[in-house]
Chains A and B, each alone.
Chain A
Amino acid sequence: MKNALWENIFRGKSKEVSQEVLTLKKVPVFEGLEPKELSEIEKLIHHRTYKPDEVVFRRNAPGEGMYIILRGKVDILTESGEGTSSVVASLTEGDFFGDLSLLDKEPRSATALAKDHTTLLGFFRPDLTALLKRKPQLGVKILMNLAAVIGERLRKTNDLLSQMQSKNISATNT
């Protein structure tokens, strides 16, 4: 006969990985982190749930950090001068946005809108700052990853810019 007490004592720690950790693992900002470090990040992130068409943040609102989509969809909108807005990106599960706000205090440059019943994981600047003090090695890893993400984005922007410039040059030559 099985004894519940002994079973519980020798059960050991659950090795089950949470949905949050699995999602975080796929985000480039948390790439290469040990499972223990990912659990540490899991303790810092904020769960936020949104209804369809609920605003996550508005353009010009204070930007405090990044969001990762755990479930649902989010549209990123930019507003033109005439009050109309256009969708610049549609993001789904595992995507992230607002990461620049982890580094600077500038207001949001676009509006984020939940398109479905959406659950987001928020990772914010005050938590990153505290992490840099409390667990500097982990904080530095995240900062390096963040720098790599921004570097990659800058490289792509430069490529696009040079492509456009070469198109312009060829257009003026013809």
Chain B
Amino acid sequence: MLLGIGFLYLIWQYISDIILLIVFAFLFTTILLPAVDWLEGKLRSRGLAVLVTVVSLIAGVGIFLSSFGMQLSNEAMDTYHKFEKEELITVIDNLRSNFTAILPEFAKEILESSSDETASADKISGYVKTVLGSLSQLTSAIGSFLFFATMILIFTIIILYEYHNFKRSLVSFIPNKYFELGLRLIRNIEKQVSSYLHGQLLAASSVAILSIFGLWLLNVFMDANLSLIIFIGIIAGLANLIPLIGPFVGMVPAVLVAVMNNIDTGAVSHYLFNVTPIPSPFFIFDIIFVFLIVQQIDNNLVTPKLIGQSVGIHPILVIIALLIGANLMGAIGMLMAVPAAGTIKAVSKEIMWAVRNTHLL
């Protein structure tokens, strides 16, 4: 046992990516499996059922991303055109002179000495190098992300297609003595993880719908001039999958769009909900308020109904699991922390049940 742990520790750096890939593929499989099983019953072909499910998923994500990208770039162009070029240059010049004025004398000298031609040329070549370096880093990051995503997709397709055979092969390794206990354990873990993931997806959908509704109300009753509210809602819902920090991440696109859309309007001096005397620049506080209400509804009504019963882990343990997840794998670790804790809880519960009710352990 100790030798095994030691060996795993030694090879962890080489296999961690592959394990992460398989874990992701299993998570996607758990989410898509009911749909594939149901479609197999209708289409009478597992291969076709997997194909239809995966193609629908890719098409859905593709349509969402492309239309979101297009609309976002249109928004950015609109914001850009809101400024006259001369006006923008004047604003930047003013900012620079104001900034230089508050600098101490030695800093001003450094700034002036660096403004000769040779220094400028050096600076420009430095900028070019930095930009090129960043571009190559970005290209390699996009490349590795695409590779990772493709591998997850391929693994998910294979596992979806062979799921029941894989499970049968896995079960065949369980010793006779623990065979039925093992089957029960696997069934309960499957149930726990599946209901948690489906609960999370339902909670994310409810956050998305409530956010869209809240932002729509701001547009209709407060003239908040917010665009892309459907996309913002969906992003808020997806961000909500990461516990604790997700809800705050979900607010960011809404706030950015509010700033972009209202930068040239009188909304800067807007007061919270036109009533409360708190200045809400670009409707930012209104948006934060809407998201807080959405979070309250989600935390107190939706999530306890959907997820609380399925995993039922104490909030302190959730925080501990999240911290451990964040330490091990960052944001991805946080995303997986609660299902992992749920799995550990299911395993412990089953072992306790076996100790109390059977003579096997």
Contacts and interface: CB of A to CB of B under 8 A. Distances in A.
Interface in B144-180: 164-165, 168, 171-172, 176-177, 179-180
A133 B38 CA distance: 6
B118 interface: no
A55 interface: yes
A17 B354 CA distance: 40
A62 B37 contact: no
A60 B179 CA distance: 14
A46 B360 CA distance: 21
A42 to B, nearest CB: 11
Interface SS of chain B: helix, strand, loop or mixed?
A: helix
A65 B180 CA distance: 8
Given A126-B187, A130-B37, A134-B37, A48 B181 contact: no
Nearest to B185: A62
Contacts of A47: 172
B65 interface: no
B285 to A, nearest CB: 49
Nearest to B183: A64
A126 B360 CA distance: 21
Interface in A25-78: 43-44, 46-48, 50, 54-58, 60-65
B180 A63 contact: yes
Given A64-B180, A130-B164, A58 B360 contact: yes
A58 B359 contact: yes
A56 B357 contact: no
Contacts of A64: 180, 183-184, 187
A136 interface: yes
B41 interface: yes
B13 interface: no
Contact of A50 (B176, B186, B359): B176
A54 B176 contact: yes
B358 A46 contact: no
Nearest to A108: B180
Contact of A124 (B46, B183, B358): B183
Contacts of B177: 55
Interface in B24-62: 34, 37-38, 40-41, 44, 46
A107 interface: yes
B171 A135 contact: no
A60 B358 contact: yes
A50 B165 CA distance: 23
A126 B359 contact: no
Nearest to B167: A126
A58 B38 contact: no
B359 A48 contact: no
A50 B179 CA distance: 12
A61 B40 CA distance: 34
A125 B186 CA distance: 12
Interface in A92-111: 107
Contacts of A125: 187
A134 B360 CA distance: 33
Contact of B183 (A43, A126, A130): A126
A119 B180 CA distance: 16
A107 B180 CA distance: 11
Contact of B168 (A46, A48, A136): A46
A136 B164 contact: no
A100 to B, nearest CB: 14
B329 to A, nearest CB: 30
Contacts of A124: 183
A54 B34 CA distance: 37
A56 B360 CA distance: 12
A124 B181 CA distance: 12
Contacts of B179: 48, 122
Contact of B360 (A61, A63, A135, A136): A61
Nearest to B179: A48
B172 A58 contact: no
B174 to A, nearest CB: 10
Interface in B230-266: none
Interface of A: 43-44, 46-48, 50, 54-58, 60-65, 107, 122, 124-127, 130, 133-136
